[in-house]
Amino acid sequence: MYSPGRFGHSDDPWFRVGTYGVSTTVFVVGLGVISMVIWAAEGRFGPIFGELVLVSESYQQRYQLGSVVEGEIWRLVTWPIPNEPSFLTIVLFAVFYMLGAQMESLLGRWRFAFFLIALTLVPAVIVTAVEAVAGVNGYVAGLRMVEVGVLVAFAAQYAHARFWPGIPGWVIAVFIVGLAAVQALGDRNWFALIVLACTVAVALLGIRAFGYATNLTWVPKLSPASSPGRSSAGAAPSSPRGRARRRDHLRAVPAPGEPVAPEIDALLDQVSSQGLDSLSRKQRKQLEAHSRRLRRRR
């Protein structure tokens, strides 16, 4: 059964409160908890959250709200902030806390933050464009859609991780996405349905672009995304010393006195700088054959 490790306690936090490191995951969940208190005080579309949610024209007129087309472009990134206080929202935060900590540990804080921004911004831009053309109705608010994106990315990378009571991660992801789609259809919330579809697409394309979920060959692999402090392969900062450490970690130790062939040395350099996915099938076989030869000689 899958059991996440040190939930939310990042070794590379943005800042610390006492001895506790505040990672991206912890910050997002903390902001969500604060948002529930504000929601309870002012209601669904109160003076604060009314300026943050992303709504269609029909909701805009009904609740006298602004919109992106009127110049309020901040709504494209602020819509996950308002969270309705409920038991289900608490469960959502707990799931995001666990999975987000694992994904942040995998991707690193910069790339995970970029991933969350993409899950927020890209679906919002697309649904706004569709609403301007087709006039779809509905609204989106809250962390739920972003959490679905994190779950999909997690399940793509750890498809066979087991959740209680032994259910594979990919089954949980399919169930949650299906349930969200059915709810959006039942509410005729076309806004939410489009955002959901875009969120799943961004999650799959994003985790593939970072060089993970290599088993999902049917998902196109975009150019590796780079971010501050991280190499395209998700390793440590790309300093000469860091590259040397990664190369030593990847290099199979040769027998005493045995030199490494130049072509193998070049392949190891390529893996260090660009990631394992940058190798062609022929290059992978060459590296694997070299590793087998070394094991036999030992």
- Nearest-5° angle of CA 48, CA 54, CA 57? 110
Kindly report, residue by residue over 69-122, the tens digit of the pLDDT. Answer: 788 899 999 999 999 999 989 988 998 999 999 999 888 889 999 999 999 999
**Phi, psi dihedrals of residue 142, rounded to the nearest 5°:** 100, 165
DSSP-derived letter for residue 121 is H
Q: Assess contact for 149 and 202: CB atoms under 8 A.
A: yes
SS3 140: strand
Kindly report, residue by residue over 13-64, the tens digit of the pLDDT. Answer: 778 787 778 899 999 999 999 999 999 998 878 889 889 988 887 777 777 7
Of 104, 165, 155, 119, nearest to 127 by C-alpha is 119
Residues 110-128 as b or e (16 or more Cβ within 10 Å = b): bbbbbbbebbbebbbebbb
Q: Enumerate domains of the chain plus CATH numbers.
A: 15-209 (1.20.1540.10), 240-297 (no CATH)
Show the DSSP H helices in the chain as ranges.
Answer: 24-42, 57-63, 75-78, 87-107, 109-134, 144-157, 169-186, 190-209, 240-250, 262-274, 281-297
140: left (phi over 0), alpha (psi -120 to 50) or beta: beta
Strands 15-17 and 20-22, sheet pairing: antiparallel
Which residues have CB under 8 Å from 154's CB, separation 6+? Answer: 99, 102, 103, 161, 169, 173
Kindly report, residue by residue over 120-154, the tens digit of the pLDDT. Answer: 999 999 998 998 888 788 888 899 999 999 999 99
Q: Assess contact for 205 and 216: CB atoms under 8 A.
A: no
**pLDDT score recorded for residue 161:** 82
Q: Assess contact for 8 and 17: CB atoms under 8 A.
A: no
What does the block give as tokens for 18? 């006492």
Task: State the sign of the Cα–Cα–Cα–Cα dihedral 46, 50, 53, 56.
Answer: positive
**pLDDT score recorded for residue 248:** 42
